[in-house]
Structure 1
Amino acid sequence: MSVEALHKVILYPFINESLASLKAMTNLIGEAGEAFVDSVDDFRFKGYAVCSQVTGGLDGVIMMHHYPETAIAIGNSVCQHMFEEKYQYTEINEELSHALAEWGNTIVGRSTDLHGRYSLDYKFSSPYFVHNVNDMEKYLAGVTEVITVPITIEGIGRYYFNLLIRKVEYQTIGIKREASTGISNPHTQTLPLDSKILLVDDSGMIRKALRRYLLQLGYSNIIEAEDGSVAVTMVRDHKPDFLFLDVVMAQMNGDLALAKIRADGSNVPVVMLSSITDQVLIKRCESQGISGFIFKPIKADTGAEIIKQYLKIA
């Protein structure tokens, strides 16, 4: 299969989503270059990568690959755009790692969801992050071809998309990007300002941002959980009046937590949060009773206004 075909089928949704998320989450402008075949023998780890294993008709790894200085600049911009504060970190620390993870998860989540809407014989793993050059050897094992697309960020530098191919056996098919913003809350009665709100997300950065937006709106009775299983217990013990619940989390996903919360008899209004726009998942959550579905990313200039639109209970 040609480089052009592989680019259009596999890489295009990832590249397109990364450019859209770059603009939405950092206000930086990126431009994709032409796809080309990299030498497997000369391929080198640049310092920071977000990866997803590809299995099925295509066996390999898709990698969003950065030089450290580019990753740092993007991470600072994600933080600044989310919190409206100046960030000038010079190395990847815990806060930048959270920011880069949120950016990477958004891109991989939306891209793999888009792929999943087509009857294609390959699947993607959850994203994971590579920081150590020694880890690269195992990803190159058995790789016969590397397809690379450079992304140039205006005033910053470059990052790259690499498709490391071990085997490919599928039909060429075109894919186009589908935009989606969320499912609104149909209710009209605004949540009272003294209500208790539970934020559930395994990203401390997202919880921090949501807390900030809620405080801007006048809500201060806010509690937090970093996992779905903890959220189930907190709903039972603390009886919040409203719940923002992330879908994809490390220990228990939000859709499973929602099912347990409803099984416990709680009718607390719930708004789901996710970068994944899978219609099957959305319908499963709707069947459990939700008051809306926000598709990430959420950013500082519109975050409070978006949250306000969902804080309705009847």
Structure 2
Amino acid sequence: MSIDTIYKVTLHPFINESIASLKSMTSLSGSAGEAFIDTVEDFRFKGYAVCSDITGCLDGVIMMHHYPETAVAIGNSVCQNMFDEAYDYTEINDELSNALAEWGNTIVGRATDLLSRNNLKFDFSSPYFIHNFKDMEKYLAGVKEIITVPITVEGVGRYYFNLLVRNVNFQTSHVEREQSSGIANPHSTPLPLESKILLVDDSAMIRKAIKRFLTGLGYENVIEADDGSTAVEAVKNQAPDFLFMDVVMTKMNGNEALKAIRASGSNVPVVMLSSVTDKGLVDECQASGVSGFIFKPIQASNGAKIIKDYLKIV
């Protein structure tokens, strides 16, 4: 398969989504360079990478690959745009790691969702992170070629997309980024300010941002959970009046937690959050009764308005 075909089918959605997410989640702008072949022997780890394994008709790894200083600059900018505050960290810490994870998860989630709609018969793992070369060695095992696309970030530097290819057997298809902010809450009565709201997301950064939006809107009674199973228990024991719940989480996903909450007899209004816009997943959640679906990212510039639009009950 030619580099052109691999780029169009596999890499293009990641490139397209990362540049779009730079615009929507940071104050930075980026542009893609020409794709080229990296030799496996000369491939060098740059210091920080967000990865997703590819299985099926395409066997390999997709990698969003940064120099540490580029990762720091992007992480600071993600935080700044999420919280509308200045961030000037000089090295990756827990807060920047959370920001980079949210940015990477958004990109990988949206790009893999778009690819899944084209029946290419390969799948992607949940994103994971690599911080040193020793971790990289096992991912290079069996790799036959590496396709690389540089992304230049204005005023910052570069990061790279690498497609580590072990085996490939699929047909070309064209994909484009879906522009959507979500599925609206159909209800009309505003949620009372004294209501108890449960935030469920395994990203501490997202919980912090949404809690800030809620507080700004006058909602002070906010509790948190970092996993679907914890959310199920919180609904049982703390009786929240409203939920915002992520879909993809570490232990129990939000769609599974939603089913368990409904099976327990609770009709608490639930608004789902996700970077994945898969219609089947949305339909599944709607069948379990949700009051809307917010597609990430959510930023300081629009977060309060988005959250307010969804804070409605029957």
Q: Deviations over 1:82-121 (max 9, x none)?
A: 0011111111101110000000000000000001111112
5+ unaligned residues in a row in structure 1: which ranges? none
Quote the sequence identity (%): 70
1:161 correspondence with 2:161: yes
Instruction: Report what 2:234 is aligned to.
Output: 234
> How far 1:123 moved relative to its partner?
1.1
Aligned-residue Cα RMSD (Å) equals: 0.7
1:133 Cα deviation from its structure 2 partner: 1.3
Equivalent residue number for residue 197 of structure 2: 197
Normalising by the residue count of structure 1, what TM-score does the alignment of the two structures yield? 0.99
Give the equivalent residue in structure 2 for 1:294.
Answer: 294
| 1:11 CA displacement | 0.1
Give distance in 2, aligned partners of 1:171 and 1:153.
31
The aligned counterpart of 2:105 is 105
Is the Cα–Cα contact under 8 Å of residues 118 and 173 in structure 2 kept in the other structure? Answer: no
Measured after TM superposition, the shift of residue 267 of structure 1 is: 0.6
How many pairs align? 314
Distance in 1 of aligned mates of 2:282 and 2:176: 21
Report matched runs for 1:129-168 at 5 Å: 129-168=129-168
Matched residue, 1:248: 248
Give a deviation string over 1:158-208, Cα, whole Å, max 9, x none.
000000111111122222222222000011100011111000001110000
Q: How far apart are the structure 2 equivalents of 1:6 and 1:47?
A: 25
Which 4+ runs in 1 deviate beyond 4 A? none
1:116 alignment partner in structure 2: 116
Q: Does 1:44 align with 2:47?
A: no
> CA separation in 2, counterparts of 1:188 and 1:27?
34
**Residue 28 (1) aligns with residue 13 (2):** no
Alignment partners' CA distance in 1, 2:92 and 2:82: 17
Find the aligned partners of 2:294 and 2:134 in 1 and give their Cα distance: 38
Question: How far apart, in 2, do the equivalents of 1:159 and 1:219 lie?
Answer: 39
Alpha-carbon deviation of 1:39?
Answer: 1.4
Counterpart residue number, 2:214: 214
In structure 1, the partner of 2:78 is 78
1:271-282 aligned within 5 A: 271-282=271-282
Q: Letter of the 2:279 partner, please give it.
A: Q
Q: CA deviation at 1:24?
A: 0.6
CA distance in 2, matches of 1:60, 1:160: 16
For 1:122 and 1:295, locate their aligned partners in 2 and report how far apart those are by CA, in whole Å: 24
Cα displacement string for residues 4-46 of structure 1 (whole angstroms, at most 9, x for unaligned residues): 1111000000010111111111121000001011111110000
Residue 313 of structure 2 aligns to a residue in which SS?
A: coil
SS in 1 for 2:59: strand
Equivalent position of 1:182 in the other structure:
182
- Alpha-carbon distance in structure 2 between the residues aligned to 1:176 and 1:272: 24
Q: Partners of 1:196 and 1:121 in 2: how far apart? A: 43
**1:55 Cα deviation (Å)?**
1.1
Q: Distance in 2 between matches of 1:234 and 1:178?
A: 34
1:313 maps to which residue?
Answer: 313
The question of whether the paired residues in 1 share the 8 Å contact of 2:50 and 2:65 is answered with yes
